[in-house]
Chain A
C-alpha cells in the first residue's frame, strides 16, 4: 500500500502568514493515464472534510485562491498564502492513484 507522510504534524501560524505542508509518497502517484491523483482536504473542527485541491494543483470550486498545490511524482506541497482564521483545522493529503487509496496522517494548523 502507498504510504503518505505529511509534515509537519502541527503548524502554528499568525494571521496573514504564509505556510506550507508537505506530503511525500512511498511511490510515484503518476497514473498510467498521465494524471496524478493527489488531493488535499481540510477538516474544520466538528465538520466533515472538504476538498480543497485535486489532481495536485487544481483548485476546487469556491476555494479561495490563497490555497495552491504543487508537486509531482512522490513530493507534493500545499501552500496557504496568507492564513486566515477560517483556515484553521486539519489538512490531509489523499491519493487515489493506487488502490487501496490512502490518507496522510494530517497536519493541524493552529493559531500562534
Chain B
C-alpha cells in the first residue's frame, strides 16, 4: 500500500525558509516521480516542482529562484525548501507520487 505523508512547521515567519518532508512508503523514489503541489486557502492547485526517479528536478517558473527539491532515497524521503517566505505562501502543501498517490497535506501559515 502506497502512502505519502507531509511533515513540517505549521507556522513560519516572513523572510524565513520553509522546510517540508514527504515520507513515502510502498513506492520507489528511484522508479517514480514525486511532485509538490500547494493550495492557498479557498484557491486552486499550484504545481511547485517535481523530482524524477533519476533525481533530476523541474520547478514552477515563478518559484524557481526560491525553491529546491531534493531527496534521500535511503530514508524514502523527499524534501522541499523554499526561501524568502511571504504571507502569500500561506497554503496547504501536498506531495504527490506520479499524481496518483497524494498525502493529506500540511497547512503552512506565514505570519509574524
Residues of chain A touching chain B, judged by Cβ–Cβ distance below 8 Å, are 1, 39, 41, 43, 48-51, 54, 60, 90, 92, 94, 96, 99-103, 105-106
Contact = CB atoms under 8 A, between A and B. Distances in A.
Contacts of A100: 47, 49, 58-61
Contacts of A96: 99
Interface in B58-102: 58-61, 94, 96, 99-100, 102
Quick one: which of B35, B47, B99 has the most chain A CB within 10 A? Answer: B99
A106 B99 contact: no
Contacts of B44: 90, 92, 103, 105-106
A24 B105 CA distance: 28
A105 to B, nearest CB: 6
B102 A101 contact: no
Ranked 9 nearest A-B pairs via Cβ: A99-B58, A48-B102, A106-B44, A101-B47, A103-B45, A51-B100, A100-B60, A51-B99, A100-B61
Contacts of A60: 100
A54 B46 contact: no
Contact of A39 (B61, B99, B102): B99
Interface range on chain B (Cβ under 8 Å from partner):
20 to 34
Contacts of A99: 50, 58
Nearest to B44: A106
Contacts of B94: 48-49
B47 A54 contact: no
A54 B100 CA distance: 9
A54 B101 CA distance: 13
Nearest to B50: A101
Nearest to A96: B99
B39 to A, nearest CB: 8
A106 B104 CA distance: 19
